[in-house]
Structure 1
Amino acid sequence: MTEAEKTALKDFLLDINCLKGLDKWADDFNLFDVLRITNMEIRHSNILAWLFDPNESHAMGDAFIKEFARKLAEKNEREDFDYFAFMLQDFYSYQVYRESNHMDIVLLSREEKTAIIIENKIWSGESEHQLQEYYERSLVEYKDCTEILYVFLTPDGSDSSNPERWISFSYEEIIEALECAVADTELRPEVSLLIKNYIETVRKKIMRERDEELARICNEIYNKHRTALRLIFENVSVDNSIESEVICSVLQELSNEGLIIYEGKNKWSFTTAKMDALLPPLKTPDSAWGTNYIYWYWFEKRDEQLTIHFELGGLNLNEEQALNSKLLIQAAGKKERAGYRYFRLFHSKAKLSQDDYETSLRNSVKRLVKAAFENEKKLLEKVEELRKA
């Protein structure tokens, strides 16, 4: 650490009262954050299904499903759609189903002969032919219904692959309907808190709304103590997401079995004994990542997909490390770039299921580590061949 960095950290500690402006946000309780379900698509569908059900314990009655139906009816542009007949239905007659024939949420009234099919897409994309398959299934499953409406629910109301049939609906419209439903309803304190927390979670995590006052205070603190905060961010890793909990747990299990080398600290990366033998760690933390290691196996999650990468760092290598890195690049069938900082040699992907998300995530981590081992074996064998050539 340089003298300038030491001074920056000291100044930050002496001005620690600058953080008091964040107190009102720091103590803000949210049930969904505590349960770590804010980023789980299937859980959002479960909550919505509970809120839609007019006969459930939330005591809103049909207020939410009715307000949702009103918005849906206004967006329906079909010429044969009867708005008044639809809105005069008995919404207490609706039953709500989850994952009915793989359809996320189904609102069904046998009495009114109406079904509303909702496909909920928050972080995952639309699969090929998925909506067409749901449409065909619904015609069989709900053949007695004279009215079937199809809703494509996304954070921003994006169109589906078939916007003529599937009505686009946004989470902003969902929250508007929910806020309207609870405005004039006397709710039990625990239900009121749950719905308040859910609305806050959707606004922050799905709709990505920005709290301008919070942003202003954070920017003021950051601009004042930029160097100190940069040092803190670079040297602390904290991730309380369900993904981090599962991934780190599996990596720790594999490390305990002696299959990988895992340092923990909430990181999604590991090394192996065989690769360490080829690329031994630096004596000082001067690698491309600011660690002793000049390579990493690391995980990345985007949407409904988990990816494992094998990546080399190109900084501060001695002659032997540089030669072995070059051999690995050749063994992977890639062309070396002059002066590279990072060089990815391998990746493998696994699609995550939303039906049992945690189990799918756990199994995917193990499967990807196995794929990395298989690739590592091939690379090391090829390196030996190149040495002999």
Structure 2
Amino acid sequence: MTDIAWQPSHADLESLFINNSKLDRLDAYLSRFNPIRVMRMEGMEVRHSNILGWLLDPLETHGLGDRFLKAFLSEALKGESAKGRPTALDIVQADLRDIEVRREWQHIDLFLLSRRNNWAFIIENKFHSAQHNGQLAKYMQKVRSAFEPEEGQLEVKGIFLTLHDEDPEDTSYASIGYDAVCELLPRVMAAEGQSLGQNVQIFLDHYIEIIKEATGMSEERDEMEQLARALYRQHRKVLDFIWDHGSSTNFTLARDEVFGDTWGDGEIVKSGKHSLVSLGSNGEQFSFLPLSWFKSLGEDGYTWPGCENWWFGFPVICWMQIFQSDKGAEGTVRLFAEVGPLSDVDGRKKLVQAIQAAGTKAGIADIRFQKTAANEGKKYSKFLKDNIIAIKDVQDIEEISRAIQGLLKKFQPCFDAVAPVFGEFTQYAEEGDE
């Protein structure tokens, strides 16, 4: 915390605020116009379903035809051929221009029907909300009942679209993440080239920006976070003074109530038996590594190829984040742990497998990756399940504090079980200059 007797001089303030190119770049980044964000739609699951429904409809105004539809369905069904048709190969060879897209039909987020091919697809979209018990199986039953005369010939596939690498409760559903949407949509747009309308191009660029930031895949955001850290190191005393005398969010205040007000770039903080290395923070999230992970990773003496611009350069990261519900003041606090984009494909695969094996050995069901986590081309893989605590009021600092402490207590055994794994993977790192 800033020394209470210290105050910034006129020269200190000028150095930070006058013709500071780093501050100007950050200001330009934060001032970007994005209509989806302006309308506060970026976290609303129903709005994402609306946009995806538009994109998946070959007859809609986007001009992509069935190109994105095929890319999305084939990616979701990749590796699912043992569960029957249609397979991913069936999708890419089919004519899907007759697909009928229904929103909220029988309470299903997205229902796709191709009468020409006798195929139906149930798409359950989970951007922030959690699954309800038996929900997915019920949807499958509803579809089969509604098309009972065609039941013998209609092939029905369930697809579970998730932001947080959550597994579907019903294992008959195929899984696909929003990270795949981030990769598929720009590829389809590039393939369309000049035929894509300018207004559509601009809107989809805005949408890709939103989901990249939601999935942690935004390279621009990673670059800006590094720039912000450099700016903070250079002007730390002035910025601390501004922070101490300025406003703060309730989530940040709750974090400080749990850990004290020393949260910073690489500071060790404690709450009871929990020791963390505090990394980044903003009004709705804070990132960290359990101290045992930090030590096992070689502390800050290594660099990890592929992760240089991802979070803080480590191959794994943890963060807590608060989400407000669409309904009033309710919300959730969630704890995430994620393996990042290591460029060594074999090393990344082994790291994912070793973390999973450590969880299995310790009998911890909450350590679990999606089945595609170790696949080549996969860059971001979350692995903590049942990682949500609901709160009644996102403005209640004490309630948020209890949620933070509750998640730390619940997942401390996970942190302990996984920590030894990282020491075995320093062979995939490069030694730093120190």
Tell me which interval the TM-score lies in, with the shorter structure as reference length: 0.5 to 0.7
Structure 1 residue 27: Cα displacement: 4.1
Deviation by residue 1:71-113 (Cα, 9 ceiling, x = unmatched): 1332323253353444332211001111111111111112221
Q: Give the direction of change, closer, same or farther, for the CA distance of 1:208–1:166 in structure 2 (3 Å limit).
A: same
Match of 1:153 in 2: 161
Q: Which amino acid aligns with 1:114?
A: W
Match of 2:144 in 1: 139
Partner of 1:301: 331
How far apart in 1 are the matches of 2:241 and 2:36? 30
1:193 lines up with 2:202 in the alignment: yes
Q: Is the 8 A contact 1:115 1:142 kept in 2?
A: no
Sort the Cα spacing of 1:140 and 1:9 in 2 relative to 1 into closer, same or farther, 3 A.
farther
My pick for the range that moved more, 3-12 or 117-126, is 3-12
Q: Structure 1 residue 21: deviation in Å?
A: 3.5
Work out whether residues 8 and 227 of structure 1, in 8 Å CA contact, stay in contact via their aligned partners in 2: no
Instruction: Answer yes or no: is the 8 Å Cα contact 1:53–1:94 preserved in 2.
Output: yes
Match 1:220 to one of 225, 230, 241: 230
In structure 2, do the counterparts of structure 1 residues 64 and 114 end up closer, same or farther at CA, with 3 Å as the change threshold? same
Structure 2 residue 173 is the aligned partner of structure 1 residue 169: no
- Across the two proteins, how many residue pairs are aligned to each other? 259
In structure 2, distance between residues paired with 1:199 and 1:311: 33
Farther-moved stretch of structure 1 (60-69 vs 173-182): 173-182
User: What is the Cα deviation at residue 309 of structure 1?
Assistant: 8.6
Letter in 2 for 1:221: L
* Contact 2:7-2:241 within 8 A present in 1 as well: no
Residue identity in the other structure for 2:32: D
Distance of 1:310 and 1:203 partners within structure 2: 27
For 1:52 and 1:309, locate their aligned partners in 2 and report how far apart those are by CA, in whole Å.
Answer: 34
Alignment partner, residue 191 of structure 2: 184
1:102 and 2:107 matched:
yes
- From the CA coordinates, give the structure whose radius of gyration is larger: 1
Identical-pair percentage: 28
Q: Distance in 2 between matches of 1:35 and 1:102?
A: 25
Distance in 2, Cα, partners of 1:131 & 1:79:
16
* Alignment correspondent of 1:114: 119
Whether the aligned pair in 2 keeps the contact of 1:75 and 1:167 (CA below 8 Å) is no
Query: 1:8: Cα distance to partner?
Result: 6.4
Q: What pairs with 1:1-389 in structure 2 (closer than 5 Å)?
A: 4-7=5-8, 11-16=12-17, 17-18=19-20, 19-81=23-85, 83=87, 84-143=89-148, 144=150, 146-163=154-171, 165-185=172-192, 186-207=195-216, 209=218, 211-237=221-247, 301-302=331-332, 307-308=392-393
1:235–1:44 CA distance, 2 compared to 1 (3 A): farther
Alignment check: 8 A CA contact 2:58 2:65 kept: yes
Structure 1 position 209, deviation (Å): 3.9
CA shift in 2, pair 1:68/1:235, >3 Å: same
Distance of aligned partners of 1:148 and 1:22 in 2 relative to their CA distance in 1, 3 Å threshold: same
Cα distance, 1:150 vs structure 2: 0.5
CA distance in 2, matches of 1:202, 1:27: 18
1:301-348 Cα deviation digits (max 9, x unpaired): 217955139989xxxxxxxxxxxxxxxxxxxxxxxxxxxxx799x99x
Q: Is the 8 A contact 2:331 2:391 kept in 1?
A: yes
CA distance in 1, matches of 2:9, 2:233: 12
- Compute the displacement of 1:224 (Å): 1.9
Which has more helix, going by share of residues? Answer: 1
Aligned mates of 2:395, 2:180 — CA distance in 1 = 42
Return 134-143 or 81-90, whichever deviates more.
Answer: 81-90
- Name the CA distance, whole Å, in 2 between partners of 1:311 and 1:194: 36
Rate the CA distance shift 1:21–1:141 in 2: closer, same or farther, 3 A.
same
Distance 1:127 1:9 in 2: 57
- What is the letter of the counterpart of residue 190 of structure 1? N
- Aligned partner of residue 93 in structure 1, secondary structure: coil
TM-score normalised by the chain length of structure 1: 0.59
2: distance between equivalents of 1:77 and 1:121? 24
Task: Give the conservation status (yes or no) of the 8 Å contact 2:391–2:399.
Answer: no
Which structure 1 segments of 5+ residues have no match?
A: 240-266, 268-298, 313-341, 348-389
- CA shift, 1:26, in A, is 3.6
Amino acid at match of 1:167: A
